[in-house]
Structure 1
C-alpha cells in the first residue's frame, strides 16, 4: 500500500488507496492503521455468529455482513471494518462503489488481547456517533463473555454483561438470541 508514512491523509486518498490494497486498513481522522490477522478462536466465533444470525435473518429486512464491509462514520472522519455488521433496511452507501456503508443497526467486535482496550473505549466513542446504531456487541474470544451496549430512547447507552457456559447473546434489535453453546462452538477457551 502506498500510504504516506506518518503524514495525515484525506479520506479521499485513503479510499482510493484502500480500494487498490490487498490488505485492510482503518482510517481515523487522517491516520491509517493496518489491520492485523485474527486467531482461530476469533474467526470461529465470527463464523458461528454469521451462520446462525444469517439463517435467522433469511427472508427478513435485515442482513448480516462479515468484516470486509467498511463502515463510515463521517462525524468522526473514520472508516473501520467491524468483525460483523447487521444492517436493517437498505444499506446507505457513501458512493457508487457500494463498498462502504453508513447505517449499521448492530456492530460486533470480537475481543482479543491486542484489540480489547481500543474496542472497548475509543472505537465505541466513534460508533456512538452513528445515528442508526442500536447495539454495539463485544464478544470475548478467550472466555464465554459478551458485553452489549444498547442505545436507549434518550440517546444514553445501557450496558448488559452476560458470562458463563449457560449464557446467551441477545440481539434485541432483531429479536434473536444465540446460546453461548452455539456462539462458542468449536472454540477452545481458557479456564478460570
Structure 2
C-alpha cells in the first residue's frame, strides 16, 4: 500500500494506524500516563513557539508525517514552521521537530526504526523521545550529515533550528503518582 492509498483507507476508520513499508499497523490503546505526556509535549512546544513568536505551529497526534512512498508515521507531537496548514490537511509536509512518547508496545520501534525514518525526512532537525518511565528525554538532533544523541534527565533543552527553548520538566511534568 502507498501512503496515498493508506490515507484514503484510513479516512473515517476507527482507531489509529501507521503505515510501515506498505503494511498497516494498528496502534494499541494508550494508557493514561502516555496520553498525559502527549498533551504535555504539545503544550510545551506551543508555549515555546508563543514565547519566541515564531511562525509555525505545534500539532498533536493525528497528523501524519510521510517518510517515503510506503511509510507514514503519526508522531505524538510535532512542530512545523511557515504558513498555517489548510484545515483539511492530514499530512505535515515539512516537520522540524517530532516527538514520540515511549510506550511498552512501541518503545523498541520508536527508539530504532522511527529514528532512521524521521531523519530520512530532510526537514526534521530534532526527534525527541519522551521516556516517562525513566523520566528523561532522548534528544536526537541533525548536525550536518550526522545525528547527535543526548540523554537529558532534566534542565534546559534548546531546539535550534527553529530556536525554541523549553525544559525537560516541561515535557515530563511532575513526577508520576501511582494513585493518579
TM-score range, shorter chain: 0.7 to 0.9
Q: Deviations for 1:111-146, whole angstroms, at most 9, x for unmatched residues?
A: 122211101111111112101111111110112211
Q: Secondary structure at the match of 2:95?
A: coil
Report which of the two structures shows the higher radius of gyration computed on alpha carbons. 1
Give the 5 Å matches for 1:35-50: 35-50=27-42
1:52 to 40, 44, 57: 44
Deviating beyond 6 angstroms after TM superposition, the runs of 4 or more aligned structure 1 residues are: none
Task: Tell which deviates more after alignment, 140-149 or 181-190.
Answer: 181-190
Give the 5 Å matches for 1:149-188: 149-153=140-144, 155-163=145-153, 166-188=154-176
Taking the aligned partners of 1:60 and 1:176, their CA distance within structure 2 comes to: 9
Give the 5 Å matches for 1:131-146: 131-146=122-137
TM-score normalized with structure 2 length:
0.86
Taking the aligned partners of 2:170 and 2:88, their CA distance within structure 1 comes to: 35
Higher relative contact order, structure no. (Cα contacts within 8 Å, ≥ 6 residues apart): 2
Taking the aligned partners of 2:108 and 2:29, their CA distance within structure 1 comes to: 17
Size of the aligned set, in residue pairs, is 176
Q: Secondary structure at the match of 2:101?
A: strand
Asked whether 1:28 is paired with 2:16, we answer no
Taking the aligned partners of 1:38 and 1:24, their CA distance within structure 2 comes to: 10
Contact 2:16 2:26 in 1 (8 A): yes
5+ unaligned residues in a row in structure 2: which ranges?
none
Asked whether 1:79 is paired with 2:72, we answer yes
Aligned twin of 1:5: none
Aligned twin of 2:138: 147
TM-score normalized with structure 1 length:
0.81
Contact 1:73 1:102 in 2 (8 A): no
Q: CA deviation at 1:178?
A: 2.6
Q: CA deviation at 1:177?
A: 3.1
Q: CA deviation at 1:187?
A: 4.8
